[in-house]
């Protein structure tokens, strides 16, 4: 049972009593985010490959993913929910994921394409001229050099998704957003639960953002300012 004390503005004892629940919801939050990003990256890579092979398709792809991006997340959940159903927890998970994934596609696709296109033409030509086959060149030269842009996109997409996951509380999921909604419904003037929900999701976002930043730095040693 989750109850907040009636007196203080922030009740630490509540936190202590509900650590299990908090932990569970954090894991749920991470799961929802992780799946969305993983699938999003896969799809965005595919879309990028198409866009790079056929430059004319890029406008269409951008328009389509842009559409998904512009439509409010709540509306996307709401459009998908009747199609997938919200009866079982699996259905709810899928509904949430579809919406979350579609939100990431614009940023990821755009950054992957920009990243690959940003590889200097001279580098590409030198690689071909030295005898790299197409696939080898993409894998060994272009993708590594596109990494900064791709990582930037992943960071933005991840932070955005972590924020959106809170909205899935309306579907009965929500990760840490559960506390936000639950706190709202139970007792709005005693915001312990709500604050926990918000603070933890923001912290999660900050933590993961910094980690990704660090990961990006590790993966791109050549782009660091080494001073001469």
Partner 1 sequence: MGSQAATDIMIRLDNVTKTFAGGTRPAVENLSLDVGRGEFVTLVGPSGCGKTTTLKMINRIIEPTSGRIFVDGRDALAVPAHELRRSIGYVIQQIGLFPHRTIAQNIATVPLLLNWDRARIDARVAELVEIVGLEPGMLTRYPSELSGGQQQRVGVARALAADPPVLLMDEPFGAVDPIVRKRLQQEFLNLQGRLEKTIVFVTHDIDEAVFMGTRTAILNVGGVLEQYDTPETILANPANAFVEDFLGGERGLKRLALRPVSQVGMKRGPVVDVSAGADEARRVMNEHSVDWLGLLDGDRLLGWVDGSQLDGGDLRLLEPRPFLVSLDSQSSLREALDAVVTSHARVAVVVDDGVYKGMLDLEAIAEEITE
Partner 2 sequence: MDFLSDVAAWFGEVGRWTDDDGIIVRTVEHLWLAVFPMLLAVLISLPVAVWLGHRRIGAFVANAVVNIGRAIPSFGLIVLAAVFFARAGVSLRFWPAAVALLALAIPPIFTNAYTAIVTVPRETVEAARGMGFTETEVLWRIEVPMGAPLIFAGIRISFIQVLATVPLAAVLSSGGGLGQYVIRGFSQGPGGLVEVFSGAMLIAILTLGADWLLSRGERLILPEGLRGRSSEEIRVAASVS
Restricting to residues 140-159, which ones interact with partner 1 according to CB under 8 A?
Answer: 141, 144-145
Smallest gap from residue 48 Cβ to partner 2 (A): 14
Distance between CA atoms of residues 153 and 116, nearest Å: 13
By beta-carbon proximity to partner 1, the closer residue of 10 and 132 is 132
- The entry of partner 1, partner 2, none that residue 6 binds, CB within 5 to 8 Å by partner kind: none
- Give the shortest CB-160-to-partner 2 separation in angstroms: 7
Q: From CA 161, how far away is CA 130, in angstroms rounded?
A: 42
Which partner in partner 2, partner 1, none is near 42 (CB below 5 to 8 A by kind)?
none
CA distance 60 to 81: 26
In the complex, the smallest distance separating the C-beta of residue 23 from partner 1, rounded to whole angstroms, is: 40
Residues in contact with partner 1, counted by CB under 8 A, come to a total of: 24
Q: Where are the alpha helices (DSSP H) in 132-176?
A: 134-137, 143-165
- Kindly tell me which residue out of 21, 66, 78, 124 binds partner 1, with binding defined by CB under 8 A: 124
User: 212 is in the binding site of which of partner 1, partner 2, none (Cβ under 5 to 8 A by kind)?
Assistant: none
Q: Kindly list the residues in this chain that would bind partner 2 in the complex (CB under 8 A).
A: 67, 70-79, 81-82, 85-87, 107, 110-111, 114-115, 148-149, 152-153, 156, 159-160, 162-164, 166-167, 169-171, 177, 180-181, 183-184, 188-189, 191, 194-195, 197-198, 201-202, 205-206, 209
Separation between Cα atoms, residue 217 and residue 30, nearest integer Å:
23
Residue 133 or 186: the one with the smaller Cβ distance to partner 1 is 133
Position 87 contacts partner 1 (CB under 8 A) = no
Structure tokens at 51: 């866009």
Residues at the site binding partner 1, with contacts judged by CB under 8 A: 120-133, 136, 141, 144-145, 220-223, 226, 228
């Amino acid at each position: 049972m989750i109850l907040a004390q009636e007196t203080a503005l922030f009740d630490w004892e509540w936190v202590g009593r509900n650590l299990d629940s908090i932990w569970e919801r954090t894991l749920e939050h991470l799961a929802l985010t992780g799946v969305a990003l993983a699938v999003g990256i896969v799809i965005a890579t595919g879309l990028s490959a198409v866009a790079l092979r056929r430059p004319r398709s890029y406008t269409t792809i951008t328009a389509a993913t842009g559409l998904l991006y512009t439509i409010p997340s709540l509306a996307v959940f709401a459009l998908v929910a009747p199609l997938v159903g919200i009866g079982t927890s699996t259905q709810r998970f899928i509904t949430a994921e579809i919406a979350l994934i579609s939100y990431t596609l614009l940023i990821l696709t755009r950054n992957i394409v920009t990243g690959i296109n940003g590889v200097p033409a001279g580098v590409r030509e030198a690689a071909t001229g030295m005898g790299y086959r197409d696939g080898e060149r993409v894998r060994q030269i272009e993708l590594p050099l596109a990494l900064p842009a791709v990582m930037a996109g992943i960071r933005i997409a991840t932070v955005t998704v972590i924020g959106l996951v809170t909205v899935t509380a309306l579907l009965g999921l929500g990760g840490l957003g559960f506390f936000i909604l639950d706190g709202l419904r139970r007792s709005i003037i005693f915001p312990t639960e709500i604050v926990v929900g918000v603070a933890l999701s923001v912290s999660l976002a900050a933590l993961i953002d910094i980690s990704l930043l660090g990961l990006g730095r590790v993966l791109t040693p050549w782009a660091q300012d080494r001073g001469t």
